[in-house]
Amino acid sequence: MASAPQPNLPLFYKDLMPLNSRDHAQYKTRQTETASWLVGQHAIPLTSDEFVPASRHFPIIFSSGDAPLPLALMGLNEGVNTFVDDSGKVTEPVYIPAYIRRYPFMLARLQPDSEDLSLCFDPTSDLVGEDAGGEAVFDGEGKPTEATQGILEFCQQFEEAGMRTQNFIAALKENDLLIDGEIGIEEASNPGKPFVYRGFQVVDQNKLRELAPERLKEWNENGILQLIYAHLFSVDLMRVIFARQAQQGKKPVMPDAATAELQN
């Protein structure tokens, strides 16, 4: 059983269907060590709750445009993820963003004008279905199993973190702290011909320093300042990711003083 393809689905999701005990009574769900949906995905949505652990592994940047979104960069170029192999298996211990761990489930509004969220899943995924193996989704009475309750709670926590992320972004925008970012990465073997990356936003450190003392005090107390510094400290990891691409033979082939847009 599959629903009709839906436009404008979130990253990873090819389709979306509400989970219900009538149609999915015999469904099971399993975990996997190979996230095939990650192959070729270089920019992963991130919640502000994850900035500190994610900043140890990935550059955290903000997408361009009027509705910026925090992104963890697992690669600098479209189609490149330096942390997974061709099957989608993570190649080393690394923080896995909640957005990745949530798939193939998510909470979604079934009606645009409704505030109610329903647990949905991507029916094209082999991680859930009658033949998926793993744990049952519903028990013999049609009630969600403990495993399904855990999935629901995780998705609810993700939505709550998403709201906190929106508030964080709103604070940055209200104080005009986001500016267009740019980084030039020059190889020792090719001096004077840097790879220049644009198409993303970062916090303006000059404007941050100019904020009123009472605002800085407020942000220090509510944790916003910690999030900003986690982001700022992580940006230099773009050079590390570039080096990983080069080591893996995935370095971009671009002309002299080339410019690449970070697609998101």
- Quick one: pLDDT at residue 57? 97
Q: Name the nearest CA neighbour of 48 among 184, 195, 172, 207.
A: 172
192-201, 202-211, 212-221, 240-249: lowest mean pLDDT where?
Answer: 192-201
Q: Does residue 3 have a pLDDT over 50? A: no
- Quick one: pLDDT at residue 257? 42
- Quick one: pLDDT at residue 258? 44
In a domain, 6, yes or no: no
pLDDT in tens, 6-56: 458 999 999 999 999 999 999 999 999 999 999 999 999 999 999 999 999
pLDDT in tens, 74-100: 999 999 999 999 999 999 999 999 999
Give 142-210 as a 3 state SS string: CCECHHHHHHHHHHHHHHHHHHHHHHHHHHHHHCCCEEEEEEEECCCCCCCCCEEEEEEEEECHHHHHC
Q: Does residue 255 have a pLDDT over 50? A: no
pLDDT, average across residues 55-63: 97
In a domain, 153, yes or no: yes
**Which residue range(s) make up the domain with 248?**
17-261
Q: What is the mean pLDDT of the chain?
A: 91
In a domain, 1, yes or no: no
Strands 259-261 and 70-73: unpaired
Give the chain's domain count. 1
In a domain, 11, yes or no: no
- Quick one: pLDDT at residue 5? 38
- Global pTM? 0.90
User: Quick one: how many helices (H) and strands (E) in the chain?
Assistant: 7, 12
In a domain, 3, yes or no: no
Q: What number of CA atoms fall less than 13 Å from residue 88's CA on the CB side?
A: 11
In a domain, 7, yes or no: no
- Quick one: pLDDT at residue 261? 55
